[in-house]
Amino acid sequence: MWKKGSALLVAGTVLLTGCAGEASLVRDSIVATIDKPNYDFEGSLKLTGDVEKLPEAFGEPADKEGKALLSALKAGVTVKGSQLDMDTVKFEVEVKDDKLLRDNKLWTGDKKASVETIVDEDKVYVKSPLDSKYLVLDSNVSNPFMAEFGGSDAANAAKLKEYQDKMNDLTFNFVKKYVSKYGYTLADAKNHGKQSVTLPNGDKVEATHVTVKIDAKELVKMFFFTANDAVASKEVKDFAIDMMVLTTSMTEDLYPEMGKKTTEAEKRANAEAMVNEGMAEAKKWLDETGKAYTPEKIVEEMKKEGFHKLAWNLDFYIDSNKMPVKQTSDLSVTFQAPEMKQPVTIGLSADQYAYNFGKATKFSAPAKDASLTVEQLVKDEKAINSFSDKGFVRPIAENMVDQQKWMEEWAEDLEAEEPATTTK
């Protein structure tokens, strides 16, 4: 599951940066990191622009707690961690200035406001310095809904994971193939030659500096190029068919009570027919829309709807091994929704260093006695006190417990009603 999400994120990044012409090195570096996802990373992220005006612009002035959070996000956060592979990542997000959080009793203690996250295959562990244990989110835990509709929960969980792994592999192979050939040429991409980059570990590396500038018009042009390229691509078609076949197999395998069973040949034939029809419809829509709306006209329509301006500046620093050792992003959007009294400009600024490729800092998942699952929190109400009410994890844990209790009650009610609704 995490692999698939990472792959789609990478693919989305590629499609939003463009990869031909001067930016072809960016494309190659993304493919390289997919093949070698082992490195340490460090960076920062912050909101920019009229952040403090956003609540008032929508007619709902922020309270003290809300202002404190917005202030913290504008000051920014640092992100530092290690990725051993696509399934195993550890990182810590720390607020740069948590004074207002403390003043409003949203944080306490000697350490800065922060949250540590560990992803270990299908499990996610979350903990702040104020908590005594990690909160565990496990995609393979018992699910009352699955038990009601799919027979053996444990057996279904194993089957589901097997299909997820197959989908992950299929997705990654597709991403690498498609990205390596993606050919949109950006209007404003420049290669500035070699520059020296000092990494967080003190090493210095020579890297090629590529800049990319994107506005609303460029995004529209990129969308139409990518959409037209996709509907004409054999690789996209094959991927869609293979994914639909896998999805059909998974549904029939997990829910045999539906009574539908098709052969592999039938699944592929049905999938191919649906994909062909979908791509034909998409091509027809693109042809009609492309004639009726030029990128310039679409941008003008966006302005009428309140989307005034977009500016996105990206910098990539790529070493001789085609690894992206440094990236920066500065995004700014000016908009005015109907309920807003005035236009507001909001932005997001980020930077990231990547280093120690192939020798990332090793770590292990927390031991069982150092973590609590949602199921354990439901069974032991006092266990919630392992998470501080002045930390960020407690609200997440409480919300997850409420959801789990609701699902269990729903399953019990459904089971109780079943005999009365069954017909012979």
Q: Is residue 421 part of a domain?
A: no
Q: What is the DSSP letter of 53?
A: G
* 275/87 Cα distance (integer angstroms): 30
3-state secondary structure of 312: strand
Q: Is residue 341 part of a domain?
A: yes
What is residue 61's predicted lDDT score, i.e. its pLDDT?
72
pLDDT tens, position by position, 76-112: 999 999 999 888 999 999 999 888 888 888 888 888 9
* 213/40 Cα distance (integer angstroms): 27
What is residue 119's predicted lDDT score, i.e. its pLDDT?
93
Whether 258 has a pLDDT exceeding 80, the answer reads no
* 245/269 Cα distance (integer angstroms): 9
Whether 411 has a pLDDT exceeding 80, the answer reads no
Residues of the chain with pLDDT > 70, as a percent, come to 87
What is residue 181's predicted lDDT score, i.e. its pLDDT?
79
Task: Name the token pair of 1.
Answer: 């599951």
Of residues 364 and 29, more confidence is placed in 364
Q: How many alpha carbons fall within 13 Å on the CB side of residue 320?
A: 4
Task: Name the token pair of 162.
Answer: 């097997």
- The answer to whether the CB of 207 falls within 8 A of the CB of 325 is yes
Q: Is residue 195 part of a domain?
A: yes
What is residue 98's predicted lDDT score, i.e. its pLDDT?
87
**What is the amino acid identity at position 210?**
V
Q: Is residue 18 part of a domain?
A: yes
Q: Is residue 420 part of a domain?
A: no
Q: Is residue 250 part of a domain?
A: yes
What is residue 148's predicted lDDT score, i.e. its pLDDT?
46
Q: Is residue 417 part of a domain?
A: no
What is residue 47's predicted lDDT score, i.e. its pLDDT?
93
Distances (CA, A) of 402 to 126, 140, 382, 405: 18, 19, 15, 5
Give φ, ψ of 241 to 5 degrees: -65, -50
What is residue 100's predicted lDDT score, i.e. its pLDDT?
82
Give φ, ψ of 396 to 5 degrees: -65, -45
Neighbours of 83 (CB within 10 A): 21
pLDDT tens, position by position, 188-245: 888 999 999 999 999 999 999 999 899 999 989 988 998 999 999 999 999 999 999 9
Give φ, ψ of 352 to 5 degrees: -150, 135
Over residues 323-347, mean pLDDT: 89
Over residues 301-324, mean pLDDT: 92
Give how many domains the chain has, as a whole number.
Answer: 1
Distances (CA, A) of 81 to 30, 111, 373, 420: 19, 18, 23, 55
Of residues 391 and 192, more confidence is placed in 192
What is residue 169's predicted lDDT score, i.e. its pLDDT?
86
Where is 252: in which H helix or E strand? helix 234-254
User: Domain limits at 218?
Assistant: 5-412
Residues of the chain with pLDDT > 90, as a percent, come to 48
Query: At 415, is the pLDDT very low, low, confident or very high (cuts 50, 70, 90)?
Result: low
Of residues 197 and 142, more confidence is placed in 197
DSSP letter for each residue of 173-241: HHHHHHHHH---B-SSEEEEEEEEEE-TTS-EEEEEEEEEEEEHHHHHHHHHHHHHHHHT-HHHHHHHH
What is residue 271's predicted lDDT score, i.e. its pLDDT?
95
Over residues 259-288, mean pLDDT: 92
Task: Name the token pair of 369.
Answer: 């006695």
What is residue 388's predicted lDDT score, i.e. its pLDDT?
92
pLDDT tens, position by position, 14-30: 444 444 455 677 777 87
Q: Is residue 13 part of a domain?
A: yes
Of residues 28 and 380, more confidence is placed in 380
Question: The tokens 């912050």 sit on which residue?
Answer: 46
pLDDT averaged over the chain? 84
* 388/400 Cα distance (integer angstroms): 16
Contacts of residue 294, Cβ cutoff 8 Å, sequence gap at least 6: none
pLDDT tens, position by position, 155-166: 677 788 788 889
Over residues 18-43, mean pLDDT: 76
Burial class (CB in 10 A: 0-12, 13-18, 19+), 23: buried
* 163/147 Cα distance (integer angstroms): 18
What is residue 20's predicted lDDT score, i.e. its pLDDT?
47
